[in-house]
């Protein structure tokens, strides 16, 4: 049976505003799980939410990330119209910006029968399937989360989608950043995900032209729905 998940495209939204909205939905699911455990379930409870959005230029670093992986100071951040946040997900530093699909699955993993490891694997699988529809061959690296190209060649290996999550009581938040038409110059100012010897890429760079981001979103939604066995319904 398909799990019902509420879907919402927030469009272009400030990072902090989206983070606060995630927290609100995250806490709502936690409260629903508590009610279920005490015998007073909410009949309107869902298996979770899926948010898509784009952010203005912003760098975020996970709770265990190293500050020195941001290679610029506050003055230069302002010069390039970017902001910076230390946040409560796993992983190190990454960049979000226009032309990137940022996905925030806020899911009750109990409803899906998933471990955290399998959850991340499923996100990667949906990205891999989406890229395959555009003729881009991608895969995983055992020692690193996310989706990569040319993984068999350490010199050429480059990341096209970063993943960083938080989970509490098997409820997830934060998620993935998928480079579609992303300005890759912004990655020059960080050690992406803490790596100093691996590059980043985008669909635009690999295919040689801008992609229709709305089309990519629809394909990605379809693949996420298939991989997670969920039905997405518009969030009201």
Q: Measured between alpha carbons, how far apart are the two ends of the chain, in Å?
A: 23
Burial grade of 24 (CB within 10 A; 0-12, 13-18, 19 or more): exposed
Report the SS3 class of residue 61.
Answer: strand
Active site residues: 193
Q: What is the C-alpha to C-alpha distance for residues 59 and 69, in angstroms, rounded to an integer?
A: 11
- CB-side neighbour CA atoms (13 Å) of 109: 18
Give the angle subtended at the CA of 162 by the CAs of 161 and 167, to the nearest 5°.
Answer: 130
Q: What is the C-alpha to C-alpha distance for residues 85 and 15, in angstroms, rounded to an integer?
A: 9
Cβ–Cβ < 8 Å for 214, 121: no
Which residues have CB under 8 Å from 198's CB, separation 6+?
157, 158, 159, 192
Query: What's the gap between Cα 183 and its chain centre?
Result: 17
| Pairing outcome for strands 230-234 and 171-179 | unpaired
Q: If you ran DSSP here, which 8-state letter would residue 140 be given? A: E
- C-alpha torsion 189→193→194→196, nearest 10: -60
């Amino acid at each position: 049976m398909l799990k019902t998940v509420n879907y919402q495209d927030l469009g272009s939204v400030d990072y902090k505003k989206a983070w606060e909205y995630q927290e609100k939905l995250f806490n709502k699911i936690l409260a629903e799980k508590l009610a279920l455990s005490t015998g007073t379930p909410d009949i309107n409870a869902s298996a979770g939410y899926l948010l898509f959005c784009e952010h203005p230029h912003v760098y975020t670093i996970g709770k265990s990330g190293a500050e020195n992986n941001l290679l610029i100071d506050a003055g230069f951040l302002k010069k390039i119209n970017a902001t910076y946040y230390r946040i409560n997900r796993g992983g190190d530093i990454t960049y979000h910006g226009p032309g990137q699909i940022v996905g925030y699955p806020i899911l009750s993993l109990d409803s899906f029968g998933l471990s955290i490891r399998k959850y991340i694997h499923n996100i990667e699988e949906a990205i891999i399937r989406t890229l395959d529809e555009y003729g881009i061959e991608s895969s995983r690296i055992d020692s690193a989360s996310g989706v990569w190209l040319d993984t068999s060649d350490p010199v050429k290996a480059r990341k096209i989608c970063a993943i960083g999550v938080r989970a509490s009581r098997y409820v997830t938040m934060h998620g993935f950043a998928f480079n579609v038409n992303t300005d890759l110059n912004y990655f020059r100012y960080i050690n992406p995900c803490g790596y100093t010897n691996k590059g980043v890429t985008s669909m635009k760079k690999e295919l040689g032209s801008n992609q229709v981001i709305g089309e990519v979103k629809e394909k990605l939604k379809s693949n996420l729905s298939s991989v997670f066995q969920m039905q997405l319904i518009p969030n009201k």
